[in-house]
Amino acid sequence: MNAQAVTSQLAIDVNSLAQTRRLAKEDPRAALKSAAQQFEAVFLQMVLKAMRDASPKEGMFDSEQSRLYQSMLDQQLAQTMSAKGSTGLAAVIERQLSLGLPPLVPGVTGKETPSPAAFPLQQNLPGNLPPAPPAPAVEAAAAAAVPAPAREFVNRLWSHANEASHATGIPAHFMIAQAALETGWGRSELRFADGAPTHNLFGIKAGRAWQGAVAEATTTEYVNGVAQKSVERFRAYASYAEAFRDYASLLSSNPRYAEVLNQQDAAGFARGLQRAGYATDPMYAAKLERIIGGAALRNGLTG
């Protein structure tokens, strides 16, 4: 696979980072170019999002679905623009990070290859081949493509998600992705009327059996596919650790979520939650699956 194949694929392809990592083993410089373009794409997407947020959202055709598809279009547009080097940011990143890669010399095949001097053979081991060139710059560029708020959100919750993972068999990053979807990476976290945190990361409502604290908030529910606003009562917790424990208890004790427990497949987890009725949003599974495959969780930010 070459760099062109990586940068020309769809923005929603959840395997892009894995492909870049495989490319790093074959051609670190091509992989660095791809990672730099991905960083530029993230930057452009943030610019487009800021522009969308500043635009009026009360048009006749404005809806949750239209905003979702607009976001997907902006993401693809950002990736296409970055592949063309529209801002020059990717070139600057590539040039700077390439300083950490070994020098190149012409090879017999006509392609540039690492200079043998860059990888001296181990002493007293005749015939030993030089080790494969490291690619720390590629990993650094991939990690840098993750916005700081998302990185901080993942790191803040990772230990609690790990604890819940032991109880449910669900990978920790699946649960963090769901918390990110429910709270907008922490930016729209449910709060009390006075602004105090509820630590409710999963949008769990307070039914009649709930004996703990409660916070009321306006939420969007879908009835027959139509979005409707309503005021609902939600559970409140003393900490994020308590929120994850209650989430794990909810999934483990309710037979509806049997197929979700011990689920190791992202699509199976997301669709299983939707089939069980966790949320009324018809796009919930697609949104969740997209976050699970996103850069913040693909890059292994584990605190």
The catalytically annotated residue of 13, 112, 216, 221 is 221
Q: What is the 3-state secondary structure (H, E, C) of the chain?
A: CCHHHHHCCCCCCCCHHHHHHHHHHHCHHHHHHHHHHHHHHHHHHHHHHHHHHCCCCCCCCCCHHHHHHHHHHHHHHHHHHHHCCCCCHHHHHHHHHHHHCCCEEECCCCCEEECHHHCCCCCCCCCCCCCCCCCHHHHHHHHHCCCHHHHHHHHHHHHHHHHHHHHHCCCHHHHHHHHHHHHCCCCCCCECCCCCECCCCCCCECCCCCCCCEEEEEEEEEECCEEEEEEEEEECCCCHHHHHHHHHHHHHHCHHHCCCCCCCCHHHHHHHHHHCCCCCCCCHHHHHHHHHCCHHHHCCCCC
Q: What is the CA radius of gyration of the chain?
A: 23
Please report, for the chain, how many H helices and E strands are present, in that order: 12, 4
Identify whether 246 is a catalytic site residue. Answer: yes
The catalytically annotated residue of 27, 94, 246, 281 is 246
Identify whether 221 is a catalytic site residue. Answer: yes
* Residue numbers annotated as active site: 221, 246
